[in-house]
Structure 1
Amino acid sequence: MKETKLWINGQWVDTKESYELTSPYDGKVIAKVAKATPQDVAYAIESAQEAFKKFKSSTAYERAEILYRVVNIMRGRRQEFAEILALEAGKPLSAGLTEIDRTIATYQFAAEAAKQVSGETIPMDAAPGVSDRIGWTRRVPLGVVSAITPFNFPFNLVAHKLGPAFAVGNAVVLKPATQTPLSSIVMAEIFKEAGLPDGMLQIVTGSGSELSDILVTHPLVKKVTFTGSGTVGLKIKEKVGLRKVTLELGSNAGLIIEPSAPIEKIVDRCVGGAFGFAGQVCISLQRIFVHQSIYEQFTKAFVETTEKLVVGDPMDENTDVSAMINPKEVTRITEWIEEAKAQGATVATGGTFTERTLTPTVMTNVKPDMKIVCQETFAPIVSIVPYETFDKAIDLLNKSDLGLNAGIFTNNLEDAMRAADELEAGAVIINDVPTFRIDNMPYGGIKKSGYGREGIKFAVQEMTEMKFITIKTKL
């Protein structure tokens, strides 16, 4: 059984306490994970600050080369990393390989961004009476960044913190999710091999509730970047003060399907968007609004396609959907399903469960105030709702206090552009599911779905400070 340590100043550090990490799929203990104390985290932050002082003068070329080497190392270890995801997150191998490929792309985008950080010249003589000054802006690194990451994409969402931070010269103290520390720990070895100076990456594992205060409030921390629940995100926002902060929080992704959409061409994509990684994706498709003229046809095709999905061992290459992250989540969502059934909803397919799995579930006859509709399910469950008019579809989709991604399938350009204007979300995905994301696009939500944006170019802005410089050319 693997026993882990903390990664501080380029060295593995023992802790007095540890916790047992169990597999989501079968509950077997797979590792003993080091449990950091707030004192450990404070030391890691202080050490990161010392490393930053030296690294901030590094060149863009040097930072880019480190990230390119990370890319090359990861390419040679794809299968190994996908198996780590299957083991600690219960992610099927096919989905794990996709995540690794995206992670590689994210670090490559970061390497390229390291060479593109630029400012602008300010026309000083545009102001009255000024004729002998030059002015320009620069983007400068912040210092120490606290990064707190979730379980669902433990390689790629970590990359969205580390990549842009190192591209501009920041140091990072990383606190991965308690369920998925192994994927972060292996990145310590990779960055060390790639030539990142000791201390620029510190990895502290343990309880989020015990470590979050020091990660958020330590005076040397200049930015907090967090992906996780809205409840925790709001608490961080209250504590962060004047530090920079990026919060990627919850979602209740909705999709409109118009009569002009070819059902046979889109149904596979819709099923994949709803049930990938057992629905444990921030932008997992949760609500589908289908025009009443094609409602029965679409629902029938969606159910038939859903029933072809294979539920099983994440290590099996044929598995489409595996375990949820822990049994408590299975209990929660089955209670929501039973509650919805008691209120008149129908299970069109699925709804069967074991201690650790829930079969992909399609709900019909739902009402807007049911938990499975109005709250974030984060589970393999989707609701299909008919609508009469396009205005009604937009209204139904917007009736949520969350707004990360929204989608629409249509061959009507006017309706597509109306959706782009009127859907209340950080991103509107036209002719694809709202689960669509590539790693260089801006990503972030409105309403209670978040604060700030990720996506490498946009994260770089969040990871730097603007400095203005002016010279008087004649004394």
Structure 2
Amino acid sequence: MTTTAAAPQAFWLAGRPATGTDGFDVTSPWDGGLVGRVSVPTAAQVEEAVAAAAGARDAFSATPAHVRAAALDHVSRRLAERAEEIARLITAENGKPLKWSRGEVGRAVSVFRLAAEEARRFNGGEAQRLDTDPGGVGRLALTRRFSRGAVLGIAPFNFPLNLVAHKVAPALAVGAPIILKPAPATPLSALLLGELLAETEGLPAGAWSVLPVPNEAMPALVQDPRLPVISFTGSDTVGYQIADSVPRKHVTLELGGNAAAVVLADWSSEADLDWAASRIATFSNYQGGQSCISVQRVIADASVYDALAEKIVAKVRDQVVGDPSDDATDVGPLISTAAAERVESWVDEAVGGGAKLLAGGTRDGANYAPTVLADLPADATLAGAEAFGPVLSLHRVNGTEEAFAAVNDSRFGLQTGVFTRDLQVAFRAHRELEVGGVIIGDAPSYRADQMPYGGVKDSGTGREGVRYAMDDYTYERVMVLTGLDL
């Protein structure tokens, strides 16, 4: 999808369209064609948006639940109605294959629907009698959750609609104003979402803004005391810089990973290994590997390693690489040529250090071929870093204990997939693996949008998933009623 040069697209300032004095081009990672031109807010317009968000705090928090729920329902319906158009926009600006863009739109439909449902039942309150001790006779505590204040949502490029939805929808559900900063490479999906939000009724001015400001302008927003909550998705380096710079703010971080798929000895039938290999091959390459829970490491018991490795390599080679707008394409380009060059340099380093290249290992512009490595040196960059590209390494282990130790031997801890049929091992994995999520019988890349999603160690803090983000955007406040005849 390319367009001819046109006036810059407006951004959304306190719920209304606005343009600044400057703009930037959004280009396709696939062919470099112009996808759109976006207007950049001026410093004065950013100030206006922040002031509006801070000023809307009390009014928005007091908005009836049915008003917020109706707005969220409207966005969910409109996303569904315009699904194909939006999917093609995601593919155009992001480069992900159309099949995955369609899935992303479907997930965003669900996120807004879930948020509407949660808005209707959230904050019902919890009553607690206090006469368990003599001093509490006649007293009753009522605990409810209230907005912490305006949210600064900072979104990444890899899911330019759904990860925006995971910041905007929970904020609107709890009545917290939000300023959304989309990734500079992929702002168009967020701006289209703003178009749908602008169709809603009943939300106060200042309840939401979508500001495509450059990354250089982010520190000022992060530091602004009128934005007491920050929800960031991106690299661990930037995320912890943000958290360290504002220690008194409530900061949630959804950061990187180097997700492992563990295949244990009991997962040994031909059908089992075919399933594992298929899921691993698919989810090491979906989104071009540009997902925090993309499979990066396969940790396989020695008893199944050889057969599994052969199947994985065959299925990775079967991945269809090409034009992301083609329905048949499985793997499209990375977000930029620079991103592909980084992946290329890490693979070349690993091979130079002794790793065996079993598939892939070639680059063409922003496209990097689906790649499989074996015998990865422990000191290779790929051994510890997040590849964020279509690269998979295979590791042979002896037994469950060694497999789980290998998973935990990482500074990241987002999600792990464990292929086993042993229920006791499943519970052991849940207990021992230092990650935010354990997926049994499938790749680590599974995510349902209502479940808690997030990690430990360098994978971040806090949780997404609609209800869990709503908790992060609010705090408990207790009221004690006195003189009651209970």
| 5+ long unaligned stretches in structure 2 | none
For 2:53 and 2:197, how far apart are their aligned partners in 1?
A: 15
- Preserved contact between residue 224 and residue 244 of structure 1 (Cα < 8 Å): yes
Rounded Cα–Cα distance in structure 2 between residues aligned with 1:205 and 1:147: 12
Following the alignment from structure 1 to structure 2, what is the Cα–Cα distance between the partners of residues 380 and 328? 15
CA distance in 1 between counterparts of 2:177 and 2:274 reads: 49
Q: Which residue of 2 aligns with 1:273?
A: 283
Q: Does 2:320 correspond to 1:310?
A: yes
1:370 aligns with: 380
**Shift in Å at residue 37 of structure 1?**
4.1
Determine the C-alpha separation between the residues in 2 that align with 1:185 and 1:414: 47
Q: Match for 1:6: what amino acid?
A: F
Residue type at the aligned position of 2:414: L
CA contact (8 A) 1:145 1:224 kept: yes
Q: Which residue of 1 aligns with 2:293?
A: 283
Moved more, 449-458 or 368-377: 368-377
Provide the secondary structure at the position in 1 that maps to 2:121: coil
Q: Which amino acid aligns with 1:280?
A: Q
Aligned to 1:82: 87
Residue 420 (str. 1) matches residue 418 (str. 2) = no
Q: CA separation in 2, counterparts of 1:327 and 1:284?
A: 20
Task: Give the equivalent residue in structure 1 for 2:476.
Answer: 466
**Amino acid paired to 1:273:** F
- Separation in structure 2 between the aligned mates of residue 37 and residue 401 of structure 1, nearest angstrom: 39
Tell me the secondary structure at the aligned position of residue 433 of structure 1.
coil
Give the Cα–Cα distance (whole angstroms) in 2 for the partners of residues 474 and 72 of structure 1: 46
TM-score normalized with structure 1 length: 0.97
User: Is the 1:37–1:211 Cα contact (8 Å) retained in structure 2?
Assistant: no
Tell me, in whole angstroms, the C-alpha distance in 2 between the residues paired with 1:418 and 1:241. 35
Partner of 1:60: 65
Q: Secondary structure at the match of 1:58?
A: coil
Q: Structure 2 counterpart of 1:205, which letter? A: P
* 1:194 counterpart = 2:200: yes
Distance 1:217 1:326 in 2: 30
Counterpart of 1:136 in structure 2 is 142
Match of 2:243 in 1: 237
Are residue 98 (structure 1) and residue 103 (structure 2) matched? yes
Instruction: Identify if the C-alpha distance between structure 1 residues 432 and 474 changes in structure 2 by more than 3 Å, giving closer, same or farther.
Output: closer
Q: Which runs of 5+ in 1 are unaligned?
A: none
Give the corresponding residue for 1:180.
186
Given the alignment of the two structures, is residue 348 of structure 1 paired with residue 354 of structure 2, yes or no?
Answer: no
Moved over 4 A (4+): none
Q: Is the 8 A contact 1:41 1:214 kept in 2?
A: no
Match of 2:21 in 1: 16
1:185 & 1:474 partners in 2: Cα distance?
52
Deviation at 1:143, TM superposition (A): 2.3
Aligned residue identity for 2:21:
K
Residues 95 and 474 (structure 1), Cα distance of their counterparts in 2 relative to 1, 3 Å cut:
closer
State the shift of 1:373 in Å.
Answer: 2.0
Q: Which residue of 2 aligns with 1:392?
A: 402
Q: CA deviation at 1:197?
A: 3.8
Amino acid at match of 1:264: D
1:50 aligns with 2:55: yes
The Cα shift of 1:474 comes to 5.9
Identity %: 36
Query: What CA distance in whole angstroms lies between the structure 2 residues aligned with 1:194 and 1:275?
Result: 37
The structural deviation recorded for 1:389 is: 2.1
The residue matched to 1:173 in structure 2 has which SS? strand
- Aligned pairs for 1:110-129 (under 5 A) are 110-118=115-123, 119-129=125-135
After TM superposition, give the deviation of residue 329 of structure 1 in Å: 0.8
Distance, in Å, in 1 between the alignment partners of 2:136 and 2:204 is 45
CA-based RMSD of the aligned residues comes to 1.4
Query: Where does residue 211 of structure 1 map in the other structure?
Result: 217
How far did residue 121 of structure 1 move?
1.2
Describe the SS at the equivalent of 2:198: helix
Structure 2 CA distance, aligned partners of 1:191 and 1:225?
Answer: 20
